[in-house]
Amino acid sequence: MFERKPWAEPYKIKVVETVKVTDREHRLKVIKEAGWNTFLLKSEDVYIDLLTDSGTNAMSDYQWAGMMLGDEAYAGSKNFYYLEANIQKYYGYKYIVPTHQGRGAEHMLSKAMIKPGQFVAGNMYFTTTRLHQELAGGTFVDVIIDEAHDPAVLHPFKGNVDIGKFEALIKKVGAANVAYITVGAPVNMAGGQPVSMANMKAVSKLAHDNGIKVVLDATRNIENAYFIQQREEGYKNKTVAEIHKEFCALSDAATMSAKKDLYVNIGGFVACNDWDLFEELRNMVVIYEGLHTYGGLAGRDMEAMARGLEEAIQDECIAFRVKQVEYLGNMLIEAGVPVVRPIGGHAVFLDAKAFYAHLPQLQFPAQKLAADLYVESGVRAMERGVVSAGRNKETGENNLPKLELVRLTFPRRVYTQSHIDIVAYNVIELFNKRKEAKGLKMIYEPNYLRFFQARFEEMV
Ligand code: PLI
């Protein structure tokens, strides 16, 4: 009767939120008003929202109960100390500074660690991370393996750093001119692709041999630990919690957007092992975020983060999350839809260059595909291509990334298998009429992180 052993969400539903189904005519009208940018849609016009997994998670009853224990003192909230203890326990860093979200952490860390003119190595850029590095006077250098730039290549750890590229950078500019290397694990812009423990060890050794610090972007590191458990020799009998802590121990500091892995709607932190760096961050946080025991967060938010971490780190929790993403990915692969492979941890990424092969990159195929999917189905996704890549900070030319993607991102514990079936059905329908698609022209371009607010018109 069953083709495969059935599986289901490891939770049951206690509170529900009604979603609105709109018609195509309405969606076409509102996407035009939104300048063909899914970020500019009103969420009430969206049926299934796969824009991002950032802050869009469903919290558990355990987290909500914790919210009632919020200690909203200006200084020394007990929720901070609980959060600090949990981060020390599961991540292993000595010192923690809370921030309102990930980019607050990136802002302060970049300012504290980069001297103007220095280079920052990284395994593919992330939008906010690179911008903060540039605003601090640094130049980002991509040292990810070549495979990461090819959506079709199969590699179990496509997020790995190319040790040769990193070494070449150190030789070329001199170790003193490399502020640090940032390792994102998994790599969001590459399709949620993980980094192996072996690679992280090699990065850490090379960096430390040259006196260079390793900064982990720990935003989805629990997902990364799960991939290591599943794919890397020697890890299948370790828990995700053990692998996660071992991975973090290879870095000197971390920035974190708790809005992802930690099942909350807001929050972040920066953590490190070095007292001097901690002092600087703790000094800075009072200027930009808030006191060092709340960093822009309410006490209740810190409690929700601390409790979210306890849940997120459990093997069953993370296994379900990644399998849910794979479920959609495999349906699309079976239907011949071009997607980034292997399927990543937090999202399925459509390969818009192959999907809309007739559209040149500067007609923004991924931007258009995200908008068309919305018009056809009410499903909201996000562009991760030339618009997100922005412009070269020296020449002002458009950066033309090899990956021109649309991200179907999974909020945690929010959607069921039936929602995912609907998403798959609609993507496949759109794929079947892909040749009809027209490109876009950009008519408004913000100076920073243009993908959030840029506006477009459909070409005639
Ligand atoms: O959105 P923030 O400021 O909490 O976090 C910034 C951030 C840093 N690193 C990584 C890997 C991210 O994915 C990230 C935010 N990502 C968003 C908003 C996303 O939609 O993927």
Q: What is the pLDDT of residues 86-96, one digit of tens each?
A: 999 999 999 99
Residues, the chain: 460
Q: Residue 128: which pLDDT band, with cuts at 50, 70 and 90?
A: very high
Structure confidence by residue, pLDDT tens digits, 201-242: 999 999 999 999 999 999 999 999 999 999 999 999 999 999
Please tell me which residue in 103, 380, 384, 412 is annotated as part of the active site. Answer: 384
Residues in contact with 233: Cβ distance below 8 Å, sequence separation at least 6, in sequence order: none
| CB-based contact 260:219 (threshold 8 Å) | yes
Structure confidence by residue, pLDDT tens digits, 247-277: 999 999 999 999 999 999 999 999 999 999 9
| CB-based contact 271:257 (threshold 8 Å) | no
* Three-state secondary structure call for residue 27: helix
Distance of CA 4 from the midpoint of ligand 1 (Å): 35
Structure confidence by residue, pLDDT tens digits, 281-334: 999 999 999 999 999 999 999 999 999 999 999 999 999 999 999 999 999 999
- For tokens 């103007």, what's the residue? 116
Bridge partners (DSSP) of residue 456 are 442
Full set of structural domains in the chain with CATH: 24-53+315-458 (3.90.1150.10), 61-312 (3.40.640.10)
Ligand 1 pocket check for 261: Cβ under 6 Å = no
* CA atoms of 321 and 128, how far apart (whole Å): 25
Q: What letter would DSSP give residue 452?
A: G
Distance of CA 259 from the midpoint of ligand 1 (Å): 8
| CB-based contact 247:204 (threshold 8 Å) | no
Q: What pLDDT score does 5 carry? A: 83
Ligand 1 pocket check for 37: Cβ under 6 Å = no
Distances (CA, A) of 353 to 32, 387, 440: 23, 14, 14
Bridge partners (DSSP) of residue 213 are 180
Mean pLDDT (the chain) is: 97
Q: Which of 260, 346, 410 has most ligand 1 atoms within 8 Å of CB, for mutation? A: 260
Q: Is the pLDDT of residue 1 over 90?
A: no
Distance of CA 105 from the midpoint of ligand 1 (Å): 11
Pair of tokens at residue 296: 């822009």
Active site annotation includes 27 = no
Ligand 1 pocket check for 133: Cβ under 6 Å = no
Q: What pLDDT score does 119 carry? A: 98
Active site annotation includes 384 = yes
Please tell me which residue in 217, 252, 261, 351 is annotated as part of the active site. Answer: 217
Q: What pLDDT score does 194 carry? A: 98
In sequence order, what DSSP letters do the residues of 269-316 get, joined into one string?
EEEES-HHHHHHHHHHHHHHT--TTTTT--HHHHHHHHHHHHHHTSHH
Nearest CA to ligand 1 atom 6: 102
